Amino acid sequence: MIHPTAQISENSLIPESAKVWHWAQIREEASIGENCIIGKSSYIGANVSLGNNCKVQNNCSIYQGSKIEDGVFIGPHCILTNDNNPRAINPDGTIKVGSNWDIEGVTIKQGASIGARSVILPGITIGKWALVGAGSVVTKDVPDFALVYGNPAKQYAWVDESGKRLDKHPFF
């Protein structure tokens, strides 16, 4: 199901089992997995890959180079960035074009959840089954099963696969 207002590149891969809602945009060479849901007004950049069974809530921006594994939840209004040195122009005053950027996407591992309005900086990896609290700014890699939140995000506990808070790592 692709809503008629969605803008989908002809060069993207979207299975019939995916749902893409109102005003979403999916760019060239993006790959969406089976049973994914892309929320209203979300942006999926060029060369982004989403695994199977992912849920991207409304108004998310997932920029070029991001890799998202199976079963990931991305809450509303999240941003996955890809440029550590963003500039509109080059030092000589010319407008930057795609080839002027050093793209460094975000990686989110299987089963992880990203809380609403979180921002993930370029090159960050969020571990398997990790949980990022709402409103966080993630500036460092997040270990598997970690609970992090804040600005900058810090680890406060561990979680299991269901997201239940634990006092110790589930496997150590």
pLDDT digit string, tens, across residues 22-80:
999 999 999 999 999 999 999 999 999 999 999 999 999 999 999 999 999 999 999 99
Half-sphere exposure of 148 (CA within 13 A, CB side): 29
Q: In which band, very low, low, confident or very high, does the pLDDT at 170 lie, cut at 50, 70 and 90?
A: confident
Q: Compute the distance between CA of residue 87 and CA of residue 74 in angstroms, rounded to an integer.
A: 26
CATH no. for 1-85+94-172: 2.160.10.10
pTM exceeds cut of 0.85: yes
Domain boundaries, the chain: 1-85+94-172
Backbone angle region of 114, left / alpha / beta, with phi > 0 → left and psi within -120 to 50 → alpha: beta
Q: Do residues 142 and 158 make contact, with C-beta atoms less than 8 angstroms apart?
A: no
The whole-number average pLDDT for the span 144-150 is 97
